[in-house]
Amino acid sequence: MMDRIFRGKAPDYISDHKWIIPRRDYVPAYLLTYETDKHIFQEKVERALDVLSNCEVCPRDCHVNRLENRTAVCRTGRYSYVASAFPHFGEEDCLRGWKGSGTIFFSFCNLKCVFCQNFDISWEGNGHTLTPDQLASIMLQLQEAGCHNINFVTPEHVVPQVMEAIPIAINMGLNLPIVYNTSAYDSMHSLEIMEGIVDIFMPDFKFWDRELSFFYMAARDYPDVARQAIKEMHRQVGPLRFDNQGLALRGLLVRHLVMPNRISSTREICRFLADEISRDTYLNIMDQYRPEGRVLKKPDKYQEINRRTSSSEYKEALKIARHEGLYRFDERWMH
């Protein structure tokens, strides 16, 4: 099977036996937790929902009662907003495979990235309110479509709503790996709830500098939160591992978007990953930045990032990552 999905020679770390989990030995984390003790699972759901009454779901700590449908920064009340759900073929090869990653894009966001590449979703909130039953049904529809995983995109502010839907989906037959696709602006409380639920954590480490984080994302504490969150994610799931076809099953996958004029501090982020997480960290260094959102509306204010990332900046980022000791980089290798 692997010979049919390779475009050429696969990266060595894909076929290295130490990164392989035989499919016969794999059970999604949430199913293990649910089957081991349903009471523990239910306690997680109840604790998550309780936080909504005085919201501290994310590091914003807005303290509004979302159970009464009150909103603050994330503009999301009792139920989640979903912008879209579909088999996504633009994700990493180890997620998209040959039938797509089952992405569920949650509307709004707890960050305010002025350059967001999904501005219509994160800022404008295009989408519909979904009950837990409806959210669970979408998961099953993606599974029935053949998707290789369920990929929650920007779930930082809807952890309780996700937790509420998962046991419903389990009883409907869900058995795919769950991907937690996040900006890394996550509270430790939410990550504690997610332990034993998430199979693959996929945080994006955006900025190292506190002042730039404030200027571009309205979150001065972002670098501190991201470091703590990524450490916790790695503690829970370890380095990224695959089945024998190269599909991700469990572990940490970090994304880093290379920004113009080196403002994202790639060297510091890669050094942190190598020294404080693991040199085995699976890293996707991304080159697709383009001016979007408020950058287009206020180009003079954001002139430093009012252009695409250059190929030389991207190549420099890869060189830096290797120099810092990282070696497991995402690349296209499947048909």
Distance CA 112, CA 123 (A): 8
- Whether 136 has a pLDDT exceeding 60, the answer reads yes
Classify domain 2-329 at the CATH class level: alpha beta
Distance CA 291, CA 245 (A): 36
Which among 146, 182, 328, 152 has a CA at the least distance from the CA of 241? 328
Give me the pLDDT at residue 120, please.
Answer: 84
Torsion sign (Cα): 65, 70, 73, 78? positive
Beta bridge partners of 255: 204, 284
| Local confidence band at 13 (pLDDT 50, 70, 90 cut-offs) | low
- Whether 1 has a pLDDT exceeding 60, the answer reads no
Q: What is the pLDDT of residues 295-330, one digit of tens each?
A: 999 999 999 999 999 999 999 999 999 999 999 999
- Whether 3 has a pLDDT exceeding 70, the answer reads no
- Report the percentage of the chain scoring pLDDT > 70: 95
| Local confidence band at 122 (pLDDT 50, 70, 90 cut-offs) | confident
Average pLDDT over residues 180-188: 98
- Whether 334 has a pLDDT exceeding 60, the answer reads yes
Average pLDDT over residues 263-283: 97
Q: Can you say how many angstroms the Cα of residue 197 is from the centroid of all Cα atoms in its chain?
A: 14
Pairing relationship of beta strands 282-286 and 328-329 according to DSSP bridges? parallel
| Local confidence band at 71 (pLDDT 50, 70, 90 cut-offs) | very high
Give me the pLDDT at residue 296, please.
Answer: 93
Locate the domains of the chain by residue range. Answer: 2-329
Q: What is the pLDDT of residues 19-70, one digit of tens each?
A: 999 999 999 999 999 999 999 999 999 999 999 999 999 999 999 999 999 9
Q: What is the pLDDT of residues 145-167, one digit of tens each?
A: 999 999 999 999 999 999 999 99
Which among 164, 2, 181 has a CA at the least distance from the CA of 91? 181
Average pLDDT over residues 162-178: 98
